[in-house]
Amino acid sequence: MSEIEELLRRDREAGTPEPPDVRFTAAVLRQRLQQAKPVEREPVGLMVAIALLLVGGLAAGCWLLELDLRWLLLLLLPSFASLPILVRKGAPQ
Amino acid sequence: MDDLERFVAANQRPLFAFLYRMCGDPDLAEELMQETFVRAIQAAKRYRPAASVTTWLFSIAANLVRDRWRRQARRGDPVPIDGLALASEESPEAEVLKQASHEALRSALLHLPLEQRSALILRYYHDLSYEEIAQTLACPVGTVRSRIHNGLARLRSALNQEVTSP
């Protein structure tokens, strides 16, 4: 064990300040939970609707301009960037 | 004692200790601890039993500290400096480090980059394994190893400077 690790171990043994009383913390939490709004759901449905509208609009534009609808497949490329957001995991921020 | 009090009693000591060591301020640690509990309770449905409750709470707390630190940085408030230089030469560390006080160590710890600080605190003050730290901080185990290695090196350097400076 290095000297730094030994120092950390000794500092850990020196202790930390006492946390507040459990009942006090619980009372504060009850109050805050009552005041807090329920966690808002992420507007995934709204985002999907907007994306569909955009694709629909572009498809209509392509049709009006007599462009090949296969150009719409290019939209998949920028959408890759949103994948990490859509499948994100982990603790609540 | 109701369910909420039992939940708080089981978790507040390690959580408060973690936050206190991350911030160095008991009032701020208490505020962040309450916020951590509130978020955990609100997001209880998302809790995955693969991780222990304490580990899960640590991960929420670490996110809160990081968010607070970023907000302070955006506002221009003083935040811990990330750029402590590493010592480029070997020194008689054993003797020098023995003189370092707990205060010097805690101060040096508070000046570490957040990622290194949280990894070191979870490892040396809470006995979490590398895998648990990786789960808590949402990063690969190799990253945890390098953060701990670099954090220890920075601590050593900072303490050497502390003791040798007039």
pTM of the model: 0.69
Query: Hey, are the CB atoms on B37 and A29 less than 8 Å from each other?
Result: yes
- Which parts of chain B register pLDDT below 50? 81-90
Distance from CA of B12 to the nearest CA of A (A): 7
Query: Hey, are the CB atoms on B8 and A33 less than 8 Å from each other?
Result: no
Query: Which residue from B12, B106, B120 is facing A25, i.e. has the nearest CB?
Result: B12
CATH 1.10.10.10 assigned to B90-166: yes
Percent of chain A with pLDDT over 70: 78
CA-nearest residue to A36 within chain B is B38
Sequence ranges of the domains in chain B: 1-81, 90-166
**Distance (Å, rounded) from C-alpha A91 to C-alpha B136?**
8
ipTM, two decimals, is 0.72
Q: How many CB pairs under 8 A join A and B?
A: 97
Query: Hey, are the CB atoms on B34 and A92 less than 8 Å from each other?
Result: no
pLDDT tens digits, residue range A33-56? 888 766 555 667 787 888 888 888
Task: Answer yes or no: same fold for B1-81 and B90-166.
Answer: no
| pLDDT reported for residue B40 | 92
- Are the CB atoms for A6 and B98 separated by under 8 Å? no
Label residue B86 left, alpha or beta by phi (over 0 means left) and psi (-120 to 50 means alpha): beta
The SS3 of residue B51 is: coil
Query: Hey, are the CB atoms on A7 and B125 less than 8 Å from each other?
Result: no
Calculate the average pLDDT of chain A. 78
| pLDDT reported for residue B86 | 36
Q: Looking at the domain B1-81, which fold is it?
A: Rna Polymerase Sigma Factor; Chain: A (1.10.1740)
| pLDDT reported for residue B139 | 92
| pLDDT reported for residue B29 | 92
pLDDT tens digits, residue range A82-93? 766 666 654 454
B80-109 burial, b at 16+ Cβ within 10 Å, e below that, comes to beeebeebeeeeebeebbeebeeebbeebb
| pLDDT reported for residue A78 | 72
**Distance (Å, rounded) from C-alpha B55 to C-alpha B138?**
11
